[in-house]
A and B are shown apart, each in its own frame.
Chain A
Amino acid sequence: MTALSLVTVTEAAQAATPLTDAALTALRNEGLTAFTAHGLPTRTHERWKYTRVSPLAEVSFIAAPATGDADVVRTAEGQALDVPGALRLVLVNGRLRTDLSDAAALTQAGISVQTLSDAIAADAAAVRSGLGQALALADNPFVALNTAALSDGLVIRVAATTQASTPLHLLWITAPTAGAAVLVQPRLLVEIGRGAALTLIESQTGRDGDSLTNRVSDITLADDARLTHISLHNDSRQARLLTALQARIQRGAVYDGFALTLGGALVRADLRVELLGPGAEARLNGAYAAGTGQHVDTTSFIDHAAPHCTSAQTLKGVLDGTGRGVFQGRVNVRRVAQKTDGHQLHKALLLSRGAEVDTKPELTIFADDVKCSHGAATGELDEDALFYLRARGLDADTARSLLIEGFLDDVVELVADEPLRDALTAKIHQWLESRS
């Protein structure tokens, strides 16, 4: 299926931001060609089986303007994670706003933060090598489209052995134009050098209005590097957010990810993680809540390509009204990946008859000495627990809220750092309060 306006807007973006580097220009064209050739994915695509994006073809998108007064930030702050002490970088419609950001975020020793266009201008080849290949353009139409538009976004590089003491907080704000649907396609490159460590927080927020944010992140962890990566997707009611993350994790490195999704009409996370050296570790935990008019899809592929690696993914979702949740998780253990430790679990709580969840955990194992497990459970609120709480005087609504909160908070416990945990549970509580 073709989506003409997506192509037109992307072509216009290309024309407006010509690249001097031949290789990147060619890559952009490859992206556009791939998207034009394959079009929007349909339900016949295995990885899009439960998430319908064909309505995008009916929407007339325009390029997102570089708007953003101080007011835009104020609205976003209410939606974003509140992590005291974190250095904040504000990106409005994919573009860094230094005037709204913490200046100190750009001047930390050992940590380089550049806009994508500055990074390309400085060293196009370095950017080229930081772009992941795991999500192949031909099979990933939205990654192809994002690649075609390559120009907005951010590049974060942490030099070897640098231990970043302060978390970086990216505040992504999608600001639609009244009466039109905007397309925002930022790219984020993160490279953590050998033995270095960073905590990266991302809050995706948005103003009311029609939008499609198609964001791709490329993450590289060198040997013994460590990235704690906390993401919140808390966009406005009409917003559509497609994110793709491709991470390459080398020997002894640890990617510790947690994603919380609360707001947005359509939120899809495509996660592709490659464990490339012995002792590499990935955690892809998360929680989500979807009510009427919301569709939340997490599709992940964890590739164990080296021995002695660990992966863990626990995802919990609460579905209310006619909300819909999707989890497709695949763990692939290659023949060389002996002593793999891989665990995957999805748990969903259905609060209404109209809610629905589709889960498809998959394990493909080619090594013979591994420890792997996966599971999925879907249920309703525990009647015994409800009675227990009510027998202590809690009214039915309070008892339900407490159980839902507990269901989600339970997975937030997997985040080791207490201030980050508190920031996440605060958002969950905010969501629960807005619900009642």
Chain B
Amino acid sequence: MALIEIRNLHASVEGKDILKGVDLVIEPGKVHALMGPNGTGKSTLSNIIAGRDGYTITEGDILLNGQSLLEMEPQDRALAGIFLSFQYPVEIPGVATSTFLKAAINARRKAAGDGEIDAMEFLKLVKAKAKELGVRDDMLKRPVNVGFSGGEKKRAEVLQMALLNPRFAILDETDSGLDIDALKVVADGVNALRSPDRSFLVITHYQRLLSYIVPDVVHVFAGGRIVRTGGPELAQELEAKGYADYTGAAA
């Protein structure tokens, strides 16, 4: 069975149609890339999957393991295995990153019927993962994303992903604002998480990220829906030719 299935999804914001019939099936273990011009609804799609308020679903459905997500609260979707790596991770003054990570881990444990994580176990777990991703210890003490550079924010997102073990992760423009070194670290982190039962949707404008996170399937997204699907070579073609062929379809 498909891990994620999006069926003929239509959505609008304040009466304006953004998604106009998205169909997407992702099998377990697969990495799909969603590429396309800016402002065509890629981020809207990721927000809707994660359960953000403010969108009206006018038609269609999103299924995780055959179960509809649409009536679920964002936290329940997260606990069911959805993870959104934010394009713009939110700064939260006053809340230490470690406090936040612990709360997120404990929410998961609570849902699984387990007790709260032991303080030592937590520290060991976080420090090990943080080290792999080049997240410095002092970042864990600092408030969530406050004063983090673009690269640090994205690394912190991947750290969260590594700690929360999602079934399906969406990387929304994870490459934006990253230099090549940070991009490699983030990509290595994501690649380390690839597994036969975990799937990814990598949303990006550029082919660059896909040289490091090599996708199984590439989709072109324009005008609120997927207009073309192919293999990794499609990303190369888009890099060479741009999106000019598709912006017409958007209009």
| B-binding residues in A (CB < 8 A) | 382-385, 387-396, 398-399, 402-403, 405-411, 413
B51 x A391 contact (CB < 8 A):
yes
Q: Which residues of B contact A384 (CB under 8 A)?
A: 90
Q: How close is B74's CB to chain A, nearest CB, in angstroms?
A: 4
B75 x A394 contact (CB < 8 A):
yes
Of the stretches B104-112, B118-126, B190-198, B218-226, the one at the interface is B104-112
The contact sample of 11 A-B pairs, CB cut-off 8 A, is A387-B74, A388-B89, A389-B100, A389-B103, A391-B52, A392-B160, A395-B107, A396-B75, A399-B75, A402-B103, A407-B93
B94 x A407 contact (CB < 8 A):
yes
Q: Which residues of A contact B73 (CB under 8 A)?
A: 390, 395-396
- Extra contacts, 13 of them, besides A391-B86, A406-B143 (Cβ < 8 A), are A387-B53, A388-B86, A390-B74, A391-B78, A391-B83, A391-B84, A393-B78, A393-B111, A394-B75, A394-B107, A403-B95, A407-B94, A408-B94
Q: CB within 8 A of B104: which of A383, A394, A403, A408?
A: A394
Q: Which residues of B contact A385 (CB under 8 A)?
A: 90-92
B164 x A410 contact (CB < 8 A):
no
Q: Which residues of B contact A408 (CB under 8 A)?
A: 94
- Determine the distance from Cα of A384 to Cα of B108 in the docked complex, in whole angstroms: 21
- Determine the distance from Cα of A413 to Cα of B143 in the docked complex, in whole angstroms: 11
B79 CB-CB contact with A under 8 Å: yes
- Determine the distance from Cα of A318 to Cα of B84 in the docked complex, in whole angstroms: 30
- Determine the distance from Cα of A141 to Cα of B143 in the docked complex, in whole angstroms: 44
B107 x A398 contact (CB < 8 A):
yes
B92 x A406 contact (CB < 8 A):
yes
Q: Given contacts A393-B164, A395-B75, A396-B73, is CB(A410)–CB(B107) below 8 Å?
A: no
**CB-based closest 10 A-B pairs:** A406-B94, A410-B94, A406-B95, A393-B107, A393-B78, A390-B74, A392-B104, A388-B90, A409-B94, A390-B75
Q: Which residues of A contact B22 (CB under 8 A)?
A: none
B103 x A398 contact (CB < 8 A):
yes
Q: Which residues of A contact B94 (CB under 8 A)?
A: 405-411, 413
Q: Given contacts A392-B107, A392-B164, A396-B75, is CB(A387)–CB(B95) below 8 Å?
A: no
B99 CB-CB contact with A under 8 Å: yes
Which of B51, B86, B107 has most chain A Cβ within 10 Å? B107
With both beta carbons as reference points, the residue of chain A lying nearest to B78 in the complex is identified as A393
B50 CB-CB contact with A under 8 Å: yes
- Determine the distance from Cα of A390 to Cα of B76 in the docked complex, in whole angstroms: 8
B95 x A402 contact (CB < 8 A):
yes
Q: CB within 8 A of A393: which of B52, B75, B90, B93?
A: B75
Q: How close is A41's CB to chain B, nearest CB, in angstroms?
A: 35
With both beta carbons as reference points, the residue of chain A lying nearest to B82 in the complex is identified as A391
Q: Which residues of B contact A399 (CB under 8 A)?
A: 75
- Determine the distance from Cα of A389 to Cα of B143 in the docked complex, in whole angstroms: 13
Q: Which residues of A contact B103 (CB under 8 A)?
A: 389, 392, 394, 398, 402
With both beta carbons as reference points, the residue of chain B lying nearest to A384 in the complex is identified as B90
B104 x A410 contact (CB < 8 A):
no
B99 x A402 contact (CB < 8 A):
yes
Q: Which residues of A contact B164 (CB under 8 A)?
A: 392-393
Interface residues on B, range: 20 to 34
With both beta carbons as reference points, the residue of chain A lying nearest to B161 in the complex is identified as A392
Q: How close is B105's CB to chain A, nearest CB, in angstroms?
A: 9
A410 x B78 contact (CB < 8 A):
no
- Determine the distance from Cα of A393 to Cα of B160 in the docked complex, in whole angstroms: 11
Q: Which residues of B contact A391 (CB under 8 A)?
A: 50-52, 74-75, 77-78, 83-84, 86
Which of A393, A403, A407, A413 has most chain B Cβ within 10 Å? A393
Q: Given contacts A394-B75, A396-B73, A402-B99, is CB(A388)–CB(B92) below 8 Å?
A: yes
Q: How close is A428's CB to chain B, nearest CB, in angstroms?
A: 10
Which of A385, A388, A405, A406 has most chain B Cβ within 10 Å? A388
What is the 8 Å Cβ interface bit string for chain B, positions 99-141, against chain A (1 contact, 0 not)?
1100110011001000000000000000000000000000000
Q: Which residues of B contact A403 (CB under 8 A)?
A: 92, 95
Q: Which residues of A contact B92 (CB under 8 A)?
A: 382, 385, 388-389, 403, 406
With both beta carbons as reference points, the residue of chain B lying nearest to A388 in the complex is identified as B90
Q: How close is B130's CB to chain A, nearest CB, in angstroms?
A: 16
A382 x B75 contact (CB < 8 A):
no
- Determine the distance from Cα of A413 to Cα of B79 in the docked complex, in whole angstroms: 32
- Determine the distance from Cα of A68 to Cα of B77 in the docked complex, in whole angstroms: 55
Q: How close is B8's CB to chain A, nearest CB, in angstroms?
A: 25
Q: Which residues of A contact B75 (CB under 8 A)?
A: 390-391, 393-396, 399
Q: Which residues of B contact A388 (CB under 8 A)?
A: 86, 89-90, 92
Q: Which residues of B contact A394 (CB under 8 A)?
A: 75, 103-104, 107
What is the 8 Å Cβ interface bit string for chain B, positions 164-195, against chain A (1 contact, 0 not)?
10000000000000000000000000000000
A390 x B99 contact (CB < 8 A):
no
Which of B92, B103, B143 has most chain A Cβ within 10 Å? B92
- Determine the distance from Cα of A203 to Cα of B164 in the docked complex, in whole angstroms: 41
B78 x A387 contact (CB < 8 A):
no
- Determine the distance from Cα of A413 to Cα of B95 in the docked complex, in whole angstroms: 11
Q: How close is A87's CB to chain B, nearest CB, in angstroms?
A: 31
Q: How close is B61's CB to chain A, nearest CB, in angstroms?
A: 20
Q: CB within 8 A of B78: which of A383, A390, A405, A411?
A: A390
- Determine the distance from Cα of A408 to Cα of B95 in the docked complex, in whole angstroms: 10
- Determine the distance from Cα of A223 to Cα of B169 in the docked complex, in whole angstroms: 61
- Determine the distance from Cα of A216 to Cα of B103 in the docked complex, in whole angstroms: 42
- Determine the distance from Cα of A396 to Cα of B111 in the docked complex, in whole angstroms: 14
- Determine the distance from Cα of A391 to Cα of B52 in the docked complex, in whole angstroms: 8
With both beta carbons as reference points, the residue of chain A lying nearest to B89 in the complex is identified as A388
B104 x A393 contact (CB < 8 A):
yes
B89 x A392 contact (CB < 8 A):
no
Q: Which residues of B contact A405 (CB under 8 A)?
A: 94-95
Which residues of B from 48 to 67 have beta carbons under 8 Å from A? 50-53
- Determine the distance from Cα of A234 to Cα of B96 in the docked complex, in whole angstroms: 26
Q: Which residues of B contact A398 (CB under 8 A)?
A: 103, 107
